[in-house]
Structure 1
Amino acid sequence: MDSISRPELFDFHGVMMTKYFTDNWNNYQNFQARPDDILIATYPKAGTTWVSYILDLLYFGQTSTDRNTSIPIYERVPFLEIAVPGLEKGKDLADNLSTSPRLIKTHLPVQFVPKSFWEQNCRIVYVARNAKDNMVSFYHFDRMNKLQPESGEWSSFFQRFLEGKMVFGSWYDHVNGWWKKRQTHSKLHYMFFEDLVENTGGEIAKLSSFLGKSASAEEIETLSSSVQFDNMKKDKMANYSTLPVMDAKISPFMRKGKVGDWKNHFTVAQNEVFDEDYKKKMTDPTLQFRTEI
């Protein structure tokens, strides 16, 4: 893993990306989805691992306990577009999944998703998180993850986030693009991180019904308690502590999982700048986020 160097951002078809997600582009664009595949899509640091874990338990938790204790989540739910020297490519991991359904994660903006997911009419779960908390989480993630560009100082990171100069592009474009897609792709379940924090059981019940599963109230209750943030944070199979490119001593992969932590980072001035900018970019009144609960 010594060959891993922090990548440069560059413009790729109008979206800022790095080589770790474009090197295998042609290959993963030709990914062959199956009708029962489930794609978990998010902007980075919006609750991806949490929802991946919930889905994995919904489908396989009751039947295969050794899966939960011996296979890290990033192998159970491969990251489709990732290609890092020395590690198996996400697409190859996805191709080789033996589960049915296959659970696959992506951070791609909607226009970059391989077309076979639409052709096969796959179910897609999109998780969105309010921009302020998402920014803070992304900042700490960039500090500890060698696969990401340097985070730099908080003030410059803040500016870069507003400008969309982040891996996978602008938060605004991402959440809006996926929100619009609901109009043409009926099998898209759009959920909010804040709702999941506030009412984990209720959100799992909605997810379960979207997936056509009939989980009992008791099963949902059990599942809700096992996916509480503090339990997952301690779980080596969920917390990414087994991945050498991340330095948990700088900041843990699973940091707080809270709503409203942005208040510990934003200055009053930054908050005003942010709110002004947000009003300009978030023009769809049907897409509403909560920055506290």
Structure 2
Amino acid sequence: MPKEAFKKPCKHIYLVRNPKDTAVSFYNHTKGLKVLDYDGTFSDFYESFIEGEVEYSSWFDHVTTWWKGTKDNPNVLWIHYEDLKKEFIPMLKKMASFLGCPADENFLQEIAEKTSFNTMKQQTEKFDVKEAWKTKDGTMFRKGQVGNWKEHFTVEQNERFNKVYEEKMADFPDLKLQIQFT
């Protein structure tokens, strides 16, 4: 994000997701893109993710850098993917209020229907360039679930990730409270 974006009167919404689900989603995204030509296992990707040796670098550095720079900024709203999945309409109301947009119930319901994961996945021709993907359906949309990491992480990987998370987030107790980590 260019630094000038924070000097102008614009608003930002930072969407944060459980880092374990992020790792699984990013693995599938990386493996699915033809241009990245990644064919490794989740275990290999897991190691790279933990070390921040993936495209866009470290999840930990990204989130903590944004937190340091924006936690007290009234023009930045932190939204959690898990909250969107659980309470989509209330979260849309929160975002509309933050952005200063009028949003009646019908409008919010229409947004919810048009932007739901399932709707977007069904309309992949509008969102994806099928030729870019190795996936059989030619899309980046996979599951969009909360907690899918549990199907991919071994017990040992989970324990190690928890330890790394505690170390990397030690200086950010207020941020740790923000991130839903189960």
TM-score, scaled to structure 1: 0.57
CA contact (8 A) 2:130 2:138 kept: no
Residue 268 in structure 1 maps to residue 158 in structure 2: no
1:223 alignment counterpart? 111
Does the C-alpha gap of structure 1 residues 154 and 236 become closer, same or farther in structure 2, counting only changes over 3 Å?
closer
1:141 has 2:55 as partner: no
Shift of 1:151: 4.9
Matched positions, count:
179
Paired with 2:76 and 2:130, the residues of 1 have a C-alpha distance of 30
**2:51 is the alignment partner of 1:188:** no
| Cα distance in structure 1, aligned partners of 2:136 and 2:39 | 16
Deviation readout 1:122-152 (Å, 9 max, x if unpaired)? 2111111110000000111111112336251
Residue 229 to residue 119, structure 1, CA distance change in 2 (3 Å): same
Deviation at 1:166, TM superposition (A): 1.1
Alignment of 1:70-219 (within 5 A): 113-148=1-36, 150-183=38-71, 185-219=73-107
> How big is the shift at 1:247?
2.3
Give the helix-richer structure, 1 or 2: 2
Output one character per residue of 1:221-268: Cα deviation in whole Å (capped at 9) or x when no partner: 22212222111101135541x342222318741100000000110011
2:132–2:138 CA contact under 8 A, matched in 1: no
Residue 132 of structure 2 is matched in structure 1 by 245
Structure-1 separation of matches of 2:119 and 2:138: 18
Alignment RMSD: 1.9
Separation in structure 2 between the aligned mates of residue 185 and residue 238 of structure 1, nearest angstrom: 34
Structure 1 residues 161 and 251: CA distance shift in structure 2, 3 A:
farther
- Evaluate the alpha carbon distance shift between residue 237 and residue 200 of structure 1 in structure 2; reply closer, same or farther with a 3 A threshold: farther
Look up the SS of the partner of 2:79 in the other structure: strand
Shift, 1:187, TM fit? 0.9
Extract unaligned runs of 5+ from structure 2.
none
CA displacement at 1:185 relative to structure 2: 3.5
For 1:16-62, what per-residue CA distance to the aligned partner results, in whole angstroms no more than 9, with x for missing partners? xxxxxxxxxxxxxxxxxxxxxxxxxxxxxxxxxxxxxxxxxxxxxxx
Query: Which structure carries more relative contact order (alpha carbon 8 Å, separation 6+)?
Result: 2
Q: Secondary structure at the match of 2:53?
A: coil
Contact 2:124–2:139 under 8 Å retained in 1: no
Output the CA distance in 2 between the equivalents of 1:161 and 1:251: 24
Q: Measure the CA separation in 1 of the matches of 2:88 and 2:131.
A: 31
Q: 1:129 and 1:282, CA in 2 relative to 1: closer, same or farther beyond 3 A? A: same
Single out whichever of 201-210 and 227-236 deviates more from structure 2.
227-236
Give me the whole-angstrom Cα distance separating, in 2, the residues matched to 1:253 and 1:181: 30
Q: Which amino acid aligns with 1:280?
A: E
Q: CA deviation at 1:172?
A: 0.5
The answer to whether the 8 A contact 1:128-1:191 is kept is yes
SS at match of 1:190: strand
Question: Residue 130 of structure 2 contacts residue 139 of structure 2 at CA under 8 Å; is this kept in 1?
Answer: no
Unaligned runs of 5+ in 1: 1-112
Identity %: 34
Give TM-score scaled by structure 2 length. 0.89
